[in-house]
Amino acid sequence: MAEPQRVRELPEDVDTDDCMTSYTHIYSPDLLKQLKPYAACHHTRNIMPLTPNLSPFVSFRHGCDTVIASRNLEKLTEAAKKLMVATGRHCLPLTVDVRQPQTISAAVDETLKELGRIDILINNAAGNFLCPATSLSFNAFKTVLEIDTMGTFNTSKVVYEKWFKDHGGAIVNISATLGYRGQALQVHAGSAKAANDAMTKHLAVEWGPSGVRVNTLAPGPISGTEGFRRLGKDLWLPGSDLINMFD
């Protein structure tokens, strides 16, 4: 008879933007010790939840110093302090709007000045809200594409040109599973992430010869995060009225 499936104990959930107080390592705790990741986040609150092991901010838990970047320096600074206390690693907060390449350029220059190198770029910037396609304004669709898709391209291009082209590196694009089945109320985000998935493959092929690995990570909805709270956990739970309405 087959052994019953072992259910792994899930990390504690958090309702606020605080870091997890305990952390279970899947990989060696000092796996990334010598590395310097740069995370481009559009919305600072998204960076705080460290609940999932899949979070890009797991990098902090594996021993590396990290830059976090988004539009709101006040929130970023608060986040950086919490991350440093929780992990004991250095975290440099920098202001960036991923839609404005000159702000990315300035932040990458500052990163190289402060940390000396960039090993991993994590493109995590995303704008999202629930909205039926018929109610979505032209500008709303464009805004989400500009943040998610153009933001990912802009940041990747700047980091590639300023560092990865000559030194290699790794790019991780945080994607979503929304577009796989055509999630209702999410045509903007699903379309943007689908474009990013294609971009990942194109850039992997073009930049591979320079020693740059480009990959996508699509974790799906993660409880205890700002996105999960903001987009409505009911959307993803079995039996949800929203899912039934459109399924």
Site residues for ligand COA per CB under 6 A: 43, 46, 126-129, 131, 137, 139-140, 143-144, 147, 226-227, 230
Q: Which is nearer to ligand COA, 63 or 227 (CB)?
A: 227
CB of 45 to ligand COA, least distance (A): 7
> CA distances (Å), 146 to each of 18, 25, 53, 223, in order?
29, 35, 28, 26
7 contacts 71 by C-beta, under 8 angstroms: no
Helix (H) or strand (E) holding 174: strand 169-174
Q: Which is nearer to ligand COA, 44 or 59 (CB)?
A: 44
Q: Which is nearer to ligand COA, 63 or 101 (CB)?
A: 101
CB of 149 to ligand COA, least distance (A): 13
CB of 5 to ligand COA, least distance (A): 29
CB of 171 to ligand COA, least distance (A): 19
Residue type, position 199, single letter: M
70 contacts 125 by C-beta, under 8 angstroms: yes
Q: Which is nearer to ligand COA, 84 or 184 (CB)?
A: 184
Structure tokens at 3: 């052994």
> CA distances (Å), 16 to each of 21, 34, 50, 70, in order?
12, 30, 11, 19
Q: Which is nearer to ligand COA, 67 or 235 (CB)?
A: 235
CB of 10 to ligand COA, least distance (A): 20
